[in-house]
């Protein structure tokens, strides 16, 4: 058994995940055990407190989410498994908190009383739920932005640089987004970008109706949109909906 663990540790994590997806329960159980500290840390970042794997329900939710992440992960999106798993765990935990109504930000949603007659005030409940929803979405966006910031570094890009080179006109931005979607949806070009961390200009120019000069000028912006399209960015992708669909 000890030799088995040693062998598993020597195999790259993404390869182990692939074996789990093929039905290797031994590796699955091994990873669920080995990565408990990672899961606890991810859960703790949501709950803002120490998480005890033996007593906290939130950890159990995180553990289940980590297991689900092993089966839903795909390395063709260019992100590492741990980066993907962290987002999945955090989302599942915050959804659990919202449903169980144990998060302080939720303001005891089902126990908002009118001081005069001690009855539930539906307007206050509605307002509290709306506030929590806003705070929840804000947290999700913040986590996605942090992850995207790290991912952009792999492509030698930064938010600061993007603010300077982003197309100024809406039609130019929409054109760049459509170009990024065409780039991402083409398997051969997508693989090229993931391997080389750059855009195959010659191949792309044959697929789009924009000039080479325009592609070169918006290259970094198109690359950044490509990274978003390939990541687990639910909220950031909302900004791209309706363009080029």
Q: What is the pLDDT of residues 148-171, one digit of tens each?
A: 888 899 899 998 888 888 888 889
Cα–Cα distances (Å) from 104 to 34, 48, 64, 152, 205, in that order, read: 31, 11, 24, 34, 52
pLDDT tier at 110, thresholds 50, 70, 90: very low
How would you label 108-136 residue by residue, b for 16+ Cβ within 10 Å and e otherwise?
ebeebeeeeeeeeeeeebeebbeebeeeb
Q: Residue 67: is its pLDDT beyond 60?
A: yes
- Say which residue, 146 or 65, is predicted with more confidence: 65
| Chain centre distance of CA 88 | 7
Q: Residue 233: is its pLDDT beyond 60?
A: yes
pLDDT in tens, 176-227: 999 999 999 999 999 999 999 999 999 999 999 889 999 999 999 999 999 9
């Amino acid at each position: 058994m000890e030799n088995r663990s040693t062998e598993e540790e020597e195999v790259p994590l993404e390869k182990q995940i692939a074996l789990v997806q093929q039905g290797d329960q031994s590796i699955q159980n091994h990873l669920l055990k080995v990565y408990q500290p990672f899961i606890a840390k991810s859960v703790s970042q949501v709950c803002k407190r120490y998480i005890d794997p033996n007593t906290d329900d939130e950890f159990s939710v995180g553990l289940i989410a980590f297991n689900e992440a092993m089966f839903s992960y795909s390395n063709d999106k260019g992100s590492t498994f741990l980066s993907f798993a962290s987002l999945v765990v955090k989302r599942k935990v915050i959804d659990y908190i919202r449903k169980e109504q144990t998060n302080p930000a939720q303001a005891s949603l089902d126990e908002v009383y009118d001081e005069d007659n001690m009855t539930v005030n539906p307007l206050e409940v509605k307002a509290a739920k709306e506030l929590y929803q806003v705070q929840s979405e804000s947290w999700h966006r913040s986590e996605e932005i942090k992850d995207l910031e790290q991912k952009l570094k792999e492509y030698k890009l930064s938010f600061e640089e993007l603010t300077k080179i982003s197309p100024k006109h809406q039609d130019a931005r929409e054109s760049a987004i459509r170009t990024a979607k065409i780039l991402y949806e083409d398997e051969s070009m997508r693989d090229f970008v993931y391997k080389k961390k750059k855009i195959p200009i010659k191949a792309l120019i044959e697929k789009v109706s924009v000039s080479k000069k325009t592609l070169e000028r918006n290259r970094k912006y198109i690359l950044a949109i490509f990274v978003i399209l390939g990541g687990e960015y639910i909220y950031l992708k909302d900004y791209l909906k309706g363009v080029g669909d």
